[in-house]
Structure formats: C-alpha cells, structure tokens
Copies of this chain bind each other. A is one copy, B any other.
Amino acid sequence: MSASQVNVTPAAAQRPFFVGLDVGGTNIKIGIVDNAGQTLAYDSIPTEQERGAEDACVRMAAVVRQLIEKNGINAKDVVQVGIATPGPMDIAQGMILRPGNLPGWHDFPIRDRVSHHMGLPVTFANDANAAAYGEFWSGAGKQYHSLVLLTLGTGIGGGIIIGDTLVEGEHSCGSECGHILINPAPDAPMDSLGKRGSLEAHCNATAVVDRALAALGSATVTSLAKRRAAGVEITPRVVAEEAEKGDAVARGIIMETGYWLAIGIVTFIHTIDPDAVVLGGAMTFGGYGSEIGRAFLEHIRDEVRPRLLEPLRDTVKIEFASLGGDAGYIGAAGLARLEYQKKR
C-alpha cells in the first residue's frame, strides 16, 4: 500500500465513504475516498488482464475488503463504488466493450460483476471522464463550476464537466476531446484510429516523437541529436529533458505541440465556455515542476488568448492538473458519490 495518496485518517474522514477503482492496461488503482474527496486508504494491483475481467473483479473486491479491515473502517460507511475503465464502453448498460489495452475483456458487464463481488451499487465511467471529475471535485478544478480536462499521453483524452453534468454523451462518446478536427489539410497527420487532422494526431506522444525526428533530420549538433546518435530512443520524456537543459530544437518541438493544443483549446472554450481548461497526463513535459513545463503552459496561454472572443480572454483559466495519477480513482469515487446523492 502506497501511503503517498492517503491524506486523511478514517477517524477524521467525512462519512459516507466511496470506493474508487481506476482500471488501466498495466495497473488497477483502488482507493477509499471520503465524502470530501480525501483518500483514506489506497492500494494498487497489477491488472494481469490475461487472467480475464472476472478474475480482476474478484481481486479488486478482495483488495477493497483488505483496505477496509486493515484501516479499521466500518464497512457500513462504504456506500457505493465507482469504476473507471478505458473505452469503448456502453455506460448505460455498464458494459466494457472492446478496450484496446485490455484484450479479451470484450463485452463484459463490469458494472454488475463488480457490484456482485462487492455487494454494493456501482457507478461506471470512462477513465478520462473520471479523471476530469476527480480534478473537478478534489484537484485543480476544486473552486470551479465547470472545466474541460485534457489528458496528454499516448492518446489525448478528455472530460467535460458543467456543474453536476458530466458530458458522457448519448453513446458513451462524450468528451472525446482528442478526436476533434483542427486541421483539414490533406497532409495533416493521422491519429491511431486513422483519422487525419485530429487534435490527437497533432499532440499525442507519437506526434511529438515524429516532430522530433523530422526536426532532427540528419543533424547531430544539438544535444537531442547527440542522444539519438548515442542510441537513446526519442520519447516525449527525452525531448523534455533536453529542452529543460536548453536544447533549442527540443524546446521548439514542445512549443509547436503547445501551438496545436492551443488551437483545440480555443474550440473547447468557444463550445463550453468553462471556468478552466486543465491539462493532465504524462505528457505535460514536467508541468509546474520544470521550466520547460511552465514555458509550455505559458506558450499555450499566449496562443489561445488572441484567438478568443473578447469576454473570454482574461477570464478562462488554463492550468495543469494537480492530482496526477490519482485523478481517476478519486473521480470514480466522486461519480459514485454523485449517484448516491441523487438517489437520496
């Protein structure tokens, strides 16, 4: 059990409590979260997806029971479970459909199976949407009424929240923010789904690497080129490291990525007019903790601002997320809480 996430004792926590589950291709994060969005118990287990979805449900339930026992939590205070998974999914039916990173977990009624094994009602959500709700409830968006979260990584995910409304869509495809079209040029890059000109195609990890390889060409003079020549695989992390150390080519690659994100962010702002756009995920280039992360954010703000309608220019915030990898399970717990409250 990692203690880093736990920020309230069971005695000090606000009742009732909610279980948050965030199922990824590698790990499953499991937290017990109080009514104020604080974590009172946490663990993670390997997904071991090859053992199948039912097996994972059994193991998640066992961990939750252990967390309750070990921490002296009254099981009756735990009233509802939230589970977040990658899409595609059928939220209304509680079905996980054909997630790319969970082969074999096809058409599985995960909501009802988790409910069966835990003996509690379960709320089911898309992982990026849950992360957005986590940031909204307990993270960077805590003081806001609405936000758009973009998760930057291998894919570009998103979550849109307007008050108590999570934009999940009529067909479980709401807030698919990476799939907006920002560039109709016939030679625009394609994303993993073969869609040309999408935000994801311009801003995901592959786009950054492709941009780096194109920028380097056959150059060997920059530090980024030297690392490549030394056999280092060019990843967004390597680009960020070299940019932080002052490599101009690496910096340019990150700024160009920021430019394309800005184009998409203008569209989200003019569609939703949220209090804030929040950027999370692995590919924030160090976030607030690095000079290049802060410069990346500042560049995005500078590119967005002049493109906005006048009343939005100095009002809509653009910020980094604050919960890191915890946003998903906290948000899943928060969505469970929302459903629990609606029933009462």
Q: Are A267 and B312 in contact (CB under 8 A)?
A: no
Confirm or deny: A193 has a beta carbon within 8 angstroms of a beta carbon on chain B.
yes
Q: Which residues of B contact A171 (CB under 8 A)?
A: 273, 311-312, 315-316
Confirm or deny: A238 has a beta carbon within 8 angstroms of a beta carbon on chain B.
no
Confirm or deny: A163 has a beta carbon within 8 angstroms of a beta carbon on chain B.
yes
Q: Which residues of B contact A315 (CB under 8 A)?
A: 170-171
Q: Which residues of B contact A170 (CB under 8 A)?
A: 145-146, 273-275, 315-316
**Copies per complex?**
2
> Which of the listed residues A176, A266, A316 has the most CB atoms from chain B within 10 Å of its own CB?
A176
Q: Mark A149-175, 1 if CB is under 8 A from B, else 0.
A: 000000000001011010111111111
Contacting A184 at CB < 8 Å: which of B163, B176, B263, B272?
B263
Among A16-35, those with CB < 8 Å from B are none
Residue of B nearest to A188 (CB): B184
Q: Are A172 and B270 in contact (CB under 8 A)?
A: no
Q: Are A180 and B270 in contact (CB under 8 A)?
A: yes
Taking A162-B165, A176-B270 as given, write out 20 further A-B residue pairs in contact, using a Cβ cutoff of 8 Å, ordered by the A residue number: A88-B310, A145-B170, A146-B169, A146-B170, A162-B162, A162-B167, A163-B165, A167-B271, A170-B315, A171-B312, A173-B270, A175-B271, A176-B273, A177-B271, A179-B270, A181-B182, A181-B263, A181-B266, A182-B182, A271-B272
